[in-house]
Structure 1
Amino acid sequence: MDTTSDTTTDAVSDAARDKPTSEPALGPGTANDPLVRDPLWYKDAVIYQVHVRSFFDANNDGYGDFEGLRQKLPYLEELGVNTLWLLPFYESPLRDDGYDIADYLKVLPVHGNLDDFKAFLDEAHARGMRVITELVLNHTSDQHPWFQEARQPGSKKRDWYVWSDTAEKYKDVRIIFTDTEHSNWTWDPVAGAYYWHRFFSHQPDLNWDNPEVERALHEVLFYWLDMGVDGLRLDAVPYLYEREGTSGENLPETLDAIKRLRAAIEERYGPGRILLAEANQWPEDTLPYFGDPESGDGVQMAFNFPLMPRMYLALRRESRQPIVEMLRLTDGIPESAQWALFLRNHDELTLEMVTDEERDFMYNEYAADRQFRINLGIRRRLAPLLGGERRRIELMNALMLSLKGSPIIYYGDEIGMGDNTFLGDRNGVRTPMQWSADRNGGFSRAPFHQLFLPPINEGPYSYGFVNVEEAQRSAHSLYGFMQRILRLRNQHAKTFGRGSLEVLEVENERVFAFLRHYEGETILVVANLSRYAQAASLPLQRYAGAVPIELFSQAPFPAITDGAGGYPLTLSPHGFFWFVLKEPGEETGEAAPEEEPFERPLQTLKTSGGLETVLVDTMVQGDAKARLERALPDFLGAQRWFGSKEKAIARTKLVDAVRLQADPPIYLTLVRVEFEDGSLERYFLPLTLKTGEAARALLDAHGRAAVAWLSGPSGRALLHDATADEGFWLALYRAAQRSWRGRSLQGLYSAGATPGVRLPEVEHATPAEVEQSNSSASYEGKVFGKLYRKLEDERNPELELLSYLTRAEFPFVPQLQGEVRFRRGELHFTLGVFQSFIPGGEDAWRYALEESARFFGRTAEATPPEGELPTTFADPAPAWLEDAAGESLQLASLLGVRTAELHAVLARAEGAAMAPEAVTGDDLRALASRVRRNAEETLAQLEAQGTALDRTVLEAKLAALEALAEQEERLTWQQIRIHGDYHLGQVVRAESELYILDFEGEPIRPLQERRKRDSALRDVAGMLRSLEYAGLMAQRTHAQETGAAQEATAPWTELLIRWSEAVFLEAYFSTAGEGASFLPSDLEARDLLLWAYQLDKVLYEVRYELGSRPDWVWLPLKGLARLLGASTAETGAS
């Protein structure tokens, strides 16, 4: 049935009927546009979202109106916003705050009429402001004339909506408003059929498969754009079409319809009118709304729904990783497109685009009281959501205003308005704007009972305390802050709105730092997500010489150096900085003064040539190489990766060198260290040179990397460890990309990618700030590089294990991507590896400490229950503990699962170096002997200090272990290749998943020993010890921070640790399953071995703490005492 003429007549007649009496602000063209039309204006927009009826009542009828909004435009201009987004103001029964539209072309009478709207629009444009309105494409009100006509039998408009004789169609489509709706179908007795609705039952969905519907909505859109509106927010856009067997969201037909809409607009108006999509979807489902990745022929803007809740997640967890993860996932939109950033979805903190675990965490942290929860979100205004804490409110606004996208400010948030959850639905966050302390908060002169909603008139957010008039009196108010930061944002609008974003890799996870670049301007943003002051060193070496100018104060900070230690900053709790980086002298217009050269007491090596004359034997001139070798012992003694500081060095020898890069020169060298006791070790030492200011900066920032001064024909240069330099890491990486091979006098060096792997392109490398037994750097969050400093003639276990696990496609470890090695005949050294970077990784050790701290905070006022410790690991955790320590228990459970899965994969390995081996009695006797020897040494040390422990359990258990070794029939399991140094610090959390790192084993053990098969229970024991360490350290920190007696939290600590261990073991053994080849089927043998490996580990911990941190020996002593007095029940035996 062809009803095109009816549709056109309806739209045109409606438009003619309600057309404003004066001429429209803008016609179909742009000739009379009062604004200079930049097609990309939305990229520079600071958007203010406002309910017309909530803002200001000019005619005192109790409802805000367009005349009131027009009168308040000077306030908005002064605040610093340049774009207004108006929530629905169309004729509506207001059962869904105006999103249930009864007439697309009419203004709700309480807001005024179309002449009032036009007067507002004209003045907004005259003040340089853009205006975005709403267009609900998906549905109408059931009061809309279209639907009322469609209900009638034989109606021409029946096919304008989606009808069915059954409610069984589209069963795969989810219900959005689960609080109120039980089906997406509702029976209509007039129509004698069911109609489809994705939202409330009073909002029937339009049938976009009917071309007449699409044409009618195009006419609606043209009507408002003809009047001069600058853009339209497309509400509920993912749900336009229905298809059986699909989720009914983000269908290809929907994306095509959006492209047709965009094309129709550009054909009629040219570029510059925008579409803003409300697609509350995961990144991979939102990105297609922008259209073609190159041309961007879809919407120009879309809300970044996944990013917003992760800003709150990052704030509460005090870790930047949730934000960094989502920035990565939402990158790569078309050049002409832009994200819309916001701190709540206009009236709620929506939690649809988070995982179930994250949603539970957010509910617990931000809406513990269930009255604040609505559907899958939290109905709170910004200020009360953040506990009224000014620092946190400022920080969240600063992040929103500086991240990549156009920010949206919800009306009233600029003064810190509160909410009234007793009003029901979302009305509690839509209360009248608070202008003054006068009656009704200055919103209206109407009687209180006549107001559409009551203003906040009680508590700390009452209009008597929080109002515009009061805020404007003080430059130190939140309003004053918002005004200043918006002014700065507008001054640098191009950089913040259009510039690229580069996240800086800072060692301190609580510090979030990033750079914004645009056309020669670089802005540095640094934010402290912690409630405590934090220090950080920023990897800004490539900006050496630049001066950071703090934007709020315009104060210059110390110039950046190229030192390997990075640029140091200290941030106040929840503090932040915005800097613009200026070249020396640029900040004052004067030349930067020269500084005196910086000197260190280093040897000077004189040479008649370059670096090669010092390093390569055949080209040595004079005694420079010999003098370098004499300087190396002092250098080595200062390096953490040098493992034999306690041994006296007899001599060092630079045994080999090969050039990696000519300019600046970079050499890979091998150093042999001979000790007085006759032993020797080999080390890998990359070397390079720095001159002038760069040399001085390196000495300042990372003096231990300096080896000696080199003096020659070209002047003076600093010879230093190249791993402190970004240039070295890039040179090594590019060598691997081109499969580099370099032959030296002693052998062949090579760097290359793993077969089948193509290393991605990178421009920057960030050397790790913390020294370890190896040296490492990350490459733009794509690749992680690691160099092994101590060399042994064995295949490195990390290379071996990662190579196998990569081939086995085990997803929870980094994937091996490349190798650096040296080979001479049978001699083979693994110099380093490249592996995939785990994006957004959060240290599981730190996470465990943070969650333990939260547990102590939640139980601070409670009395610990008695008799609720687990008797076996199979006991279910009590419900109260699931609430109080849910995240800790979830971590322990997932650790158990992933550990068992890792062991299962390793148990399937093949080949001489990897295949499992049957356990023997000799293996158990060796274990018993080692534990006995370590126990004797450790207990003797403790007794010498006055601490004596009973040895009865020790002797009984070791005797049982030795007896087990003699019972061959019970030795039915296999020993496998294991992690070997397994603890929370070797695990990272990313995207709610756990990844296991660092397979090189314990650095203090020889490589040959690290490569041996061992019991999987050794890894299990290591993680059990780590869980106890985390709980006890968190207990101590809690006591120090709160002043609480440590003894008072001891029962809670015991509950947390024992249940975490039980949950970990239950998950591990359940995942491994009965009959796992790598575990004893004999439960008594299993628990005896687990005890032995735990004891071996805790004995080492006691010796370590006695030697390094005597004040901390109490911590492993608790574990030692428990293991030496433990019953079999406590270790999980049944």
Structure 2
Amino acid sequence: MLDELLAAWISRQRWFGGKGRAIDSLSIESDVVIDADDPGLRHLIVSVWQGASRERYQILLGMRTELPDRLKHALIGTHGPYAFEGGPEYPEWYLYDAVHDQALTRWVLECMAEGSGWGTVRFRHLPGVTIDTTPRSLVLGAEQSNTSLVYGDAYICKFFRRLIPGVNPELEIITALALHESPNIAKPYGWIETDLDGTPTTLAIMQEYLSTANDGWDLALASVRDLYGSTPELSAADAGGDFAAEAHRLGVATAHVHLELAGAFPTDVIEAHEVKRMAEGFRRKLGRAVGEVPELREHVHTLEEAYHQVEELTVEVPVQRVHGDYHLGQVMRTPIGWVVLDFEGEPGQPLTERRALSSPLRDVAGMLRSFDYAARHLLADHPEPESLEPRAAEWADRNRRAFLDGYAEGGGVISSTDAALLRAFELSKAVYEVVYEARNRPSWIPIPLAAFRR
């Protein structure tokens, strides 16, 4: 009965990765009671089978004999009879997603402050930190793949809904950079873990909540709107809300983070024959993309030429730990500077790939693509996008240059040899974006296609 309730409910959640496909079965792999009261709290790990594919998900299951109106939107269903060990049996319980219940999410702070554990679920905090257990929680509503709780203006705790055995790359990176006293990350406080397949696995991470910070994407879009709303004779530099100074500062901060990562983790180099294999990987992705999106076909020559230039490189390429999914939505502007968030890498990739050493130019390329997206985002559904295309190109070029100048000033190195690799990274990212938009937002395809005309 509980399995069926959870299967029906989980298929409707936006963080569920198997939407659009039938669930063949759901089984409860782990069931840990954290609060045996009314309300009660259980930590579940469930296995969801769809065909031959199995995915694991984390659920905080709340249980009440009466459900207040404020929690009805989180209802999973009713179930009973049931009794917690040593407690009375009730004929019916309301089951719900407990991340929305402030009476139960207090356990996260209390257990993390104590460094305690409940069965196989372990709460940990960093040495020397003090955690205030009094703030009440609020669920952030914008996330797609995880669920984050904000506690007052002090903490943000990100729960990973889909679980992959192993330590999350973000936890590895932010704890390492915190030891190096990096000013460019949100301070980590603690985490929750368990064991999956005999491997310590990250369930949640808690960091400083940047309550006075502004999202990089929102700031960039505000600048673009100011430009589009100004008189046509004004340049991007003269229109109100010019973003170039911030793009420059972001470039400096990005270089500093790369230097900090190189100091905190092992580094290496890849030789010329490995660089050629990288170019071959770009080319294979292009072949698959052209088969799916015919609009790419006219740009194949441009892409092949860029990938060939990488194949011609005869130098070693430095590699290190990188962000892996870097764009304007992953950075926040605080009163004292830029802070980088979400060091998970690409969530859909295996942990081994997300931890793998790569060229820092991969992050640089990701941010350059993000500037193009910010410039052209408002053109996607515009009735006359051609009229604004020159202004979009001007804004993107100005901020791309400012970012690269800042990156160099901050100690990031982009040599003439690196330029070929950077262009290949950027164009390969644009190929990925074309496929994504074709599948999800066809009217947005012109945004990444513009990259091939640069």
What TM-score do you get using the length of structure 1 for normalisation? 0.38
Are residues 1:853 and 2:225 paired?
yes
Q: Deviations over 1:159-211 (max 9, x none)?
A: xxxxxxxxxxxxxxxxxxxxxxxxxxxxxxxxxxxxxxxxxxxxxxxxxxxxx
Task: Report the residue type matching 1:1110 in the other structure.
Answer: P
CA 1108–987 in structure 1, closer or farther in 2 if over 3 Å, else same? same
Are residues 1:666 and 2:5 paired?
no
Task: Report the residue type matching 2:399 in the other structure.
Answer: S
Q: Quote the offset at 1:673 in angstroms.
A: 2.1
Alignment of 1:303-342 (within 5 A): none
Q: Quote the offset at 1:730 in angstroms.
A: 1.4
Q: Quote the offset at 1:983 in angstroms.
A: 0.6
Alignment of 1:172-321 (within 5 A): none
Q: Quote the offset at 1:648 in angstroms.
A: 4.5
Residue 793 (structure 1) aligns with: 165
Q: Quote the offset at 1:787 in angstroms.
A: 1.0
Equivalent in 403, 408, 411 of residue 1069 of structure 1: 408
Equivalent in 1022, 1026, 1032 of residue 376 of structure 2: 1032
Are residues 1:1109 and 2:453 paired?
no
Relative to structure 2, which stretch is displaced further, 1100-1109 or 883-892? 883-892
Rounded to whole Å, the distance in 1 between the matches of 2:324 and 2:435 is: 19
Are residues 1:987 and 2:331 paired?
yes
Residue 908 (structure 1) aligns with: 263
Residue 698 (structure 1) aligns with: 71
Task: Report the residue type matching 1:901 in the other structure.
Answer: H
Task: Report the residue type matching 1:672 in the other structure.
Answer: S
Are residues 1:884 and 2:258 paired?
no
Alignment of 1:651-1050 (within 5 A): 651-663=25-37, 664-677=39-52, 679-694=53-68, 696-699=69-72, 702=73, 705-712=74-81, 713-743=89-119, 748-823=120-195, 826-858=198-230, 860-862=231-233, 881-884=236-239, 887-909=242-264, 914-921=265-272, 923-943=274-294, 948-964=297-313, 967=314, 970-971=315-316, 973-991=317-335, 993-1035=337-379, 1045-1050=384-389
Of structures 1 and 2, the one scoring higher in RCO (CA 8 A, sep 6+) is 2
Q: Deviations over 1:58-98 (max 9, x none)?
A: xxxxxxxxxxxxxxxxxxxxxxxxxxxxxxxxxxxxxxxxx
Rounded to whole Å, the distance in 2 between the matches of 1:978 and 1:714 is: 52
Preserved CA contact (<8 Å) 2:380 2:443: no
Residue 504 (structure 1) aligns with: none
Q: Quote the offset at 1:850 in angstroms.
A: 0.7
Preserved CA contact (<8 Å) 1:726 1:767: no
Alignment of 1:174-573 (within 5 A): none
CA 947–906 in structure 1, closer or farther in 2 if over 3 Å, else same? closer
Q: Quote the offset at 1:646 in angstroms.
A: 4.9
Preserved CA contact (<8 Å) 2:2 2:79: no
Q: Quote the offset at 1:887 in angstroms.
A: 3.2
Preserved CA contact (<8 Å) 1:794 1:1008: no
Task: Report the residue type matching 1:812 in the other structure.
Answer: N
RMSD of equivalent CA atoms: 2.2
CA 1102–1002 in structure 1, closer or farther in 2 if over 3 Å, else same? same
Structure 2 counterpart SS, 1:809 = coil
Equivalent in 1072, 1077, 1093 of residue 425 of structure 2: 1093
CA 825–1100 in structure 1, closer or farther in 2 if over 3 Å, else same? closer
Rounded to whole Å, the distance in 2 between the matches of 1:693 and 1:936 is: 54
Q: Deviations over 1:906-944 (max 9, x none)?
A: 1112xxxx311222345423421221122122223332x
Preserved CA contact (<8 Å) 2:186 2:341: yes
Q: Quote the offset at 1:845 in angstroms.
A: 0.4
Q: Deviations over 1:991-1030 (max 9, x none)?
A: 1521111111111112221111111011111111111100
Rounded to whole Å, the distance in 1 between the matches of 2:140 and 2:249 is: 28
Residue 500 (structure 1) aligns with: none
Residue 283 (structure 1) aligns with: none
Unaligned residue ranges in structure 2 (runs of 5+): 82-88
CA 782–883 in structure 1, closer or farther in 2 if over 3 Å, else same? same
Q: Quote the offset at 1:693 in angstroms.
A: 4.9
CA 661–926 in structure 1, closer or farther in 2 if over 3 Å, else same? farther
Task: Report the residue type matching 1:668 in the other structure.
Answer: H
Q: Deviations over 1:184-239 (max 9, x none)?
A: xxxxxxxxxxxxxxxxxxxxxxxxxxxxxxxxxxxxxxxxxxxxxxxxxxxxxxxx
Rounded to whole Å, the distance in 2 between the matches of 1:940 and 1:861 is: 40
Preserved CA contact (<8 Å) 2:222 2:241: no
Rounded to whole Å, the distance in 2 between the matches of 1:894 and 1:658 is: 46
Alignment of 1:110-189 (within 5 A): none
Unaligned residue ranges in structure 1 (runs of 5+): 1-626, 865-879, 1127-1134
Q: Quote the offset at 1:777 in angstroms.
A: 0.8
Q: Quote the offset at 1:1062 in angstroms.
A: 0.9
Residue 876 (structure 1) aligns with: none
Rounded to whole Å, the distance in 2 between the matches of 1:942 and 1:742 is: 50
Structure 1 counterpart SS, 2:26 = strand
Preserved CA contact (<8 Å) 1:856 1:1035: no
Rounded to whole Å, the distance in 2 between the matches of 1:848 and 1:992 is: 18
Rounded to whole Å, the distance in 1 between the matches of 2:279 and 2:176 is: 31
Residue 392 (structure 2) aligns with: 1053
CA 930–724 in structure 1, closer or farther in 2 if over 3 Å, else same? farther
Residue 10 (structure 2) aligns with: 636
Rounded to whole Å, the distance in 1 between the matches of 2:421 and 2:296 is: 26
Rounded to whole Å, the distance in 2 between the matches of 1:1020 and 1:721 is: 39
Task: Report the residue type matching 2:397 in the other structure.
Answer: R
Q: Quote the offset at 1:1047 in angstroms.
A: 2.2
Residue 323 (structure 1) aligns with: none
Rounded to whole Å, the distance in 2 between the matches of 1:915 and 1:687 is: 40
Structure 2 counterpart SS, 1:828 = strand
Structure 2 counterpart SS, 1:883 = coil
Preserved CA contact (<8 Å) 1:753 1:819: yes
Preserved CA contact (<8 Å) 1:852 1:885: no
Rounded to whole Å, the distance in 1 between the matches of 2:399 and 2:182 is: 25
CA 631–1059 in structure 1, closer or farther in 2 if over 3 Å, else same? same
Q: Quote the offset at 1:741 in angstroms.
A: 1.3
Preserved CA contact (<8 Å) 2:282 2:428: yes
Residue 85 (structure 2) aligns with: none
CA 826–942 in structure 1, closer or farther in 2 if over 3 Å, else same? closer
Q: Quote the offset at 1:903 in angstroms.
A: 0.3
Rounded to whole Å, the distance in 1 between the matches of 2:444 and 2:236 is: 28
Structure 2 counterpart SS, 1:643 = coil
What TM-score do you get using the length of structure 2 for normalisation? 0.92
Task: Report the residue type matching 1:844 in the other structure.
Answer: G
Rounded to whole Å, the distance in 2 between the matches of 1:683 and 1:739 is: 23
Q: Deviations over 1:330-382 (max 9, x none)?
A: xxxxxxxxxxxxxxxxxxxxxxxxxxxxxxxxxxxxxxxxxxxxxxxxxxxxx
Q: Quote the offset at 1:669 in angstroms.
A: 1.3
Structure 1 counterpart SS, 2:263 = coil
Q: Quote the offset at 1:822 in angstroms.
A: 0.7
Higher helix share: 2
CA 754–1110 in structure 1, closer or farther in 2 if over 3 Å, else same? same
Identity over the aligned pairs, expressed in percent?
Answer: 31
Structure 2 counterpart SS, 1:1072 = coil
Preserved CA contact (<8 Å) 1:849 1:1030: yes
Rounded to whole Å, the distance in 2 between the matches of 1:836 and 1:829 is: 22
Structure 2 counterpart SS, 1:933 = helix
CA 781–881 in structure 1, closer or farther in 2 if over 3 Å, else same? same
Q: Deviations over 1:401-432 (max 9, x none)?
A: xxxxxxxxxxxxxxxxxxxxxxxxxxxxxxxx
Q: Deviations over 1:223-271 (max 9, x none)?
A: xxxxxxxxxxxxxxxxxxxxxxxxxxxxxxxxxxxxxxxxxxxxxxxxx
Rounded to whole Å, the distance in 1 between the matches of 2:276 and 2:104 is: 48
Rounded to whole Å, the distance in 1 between the matches of 2:445 and 2:333 is: 29
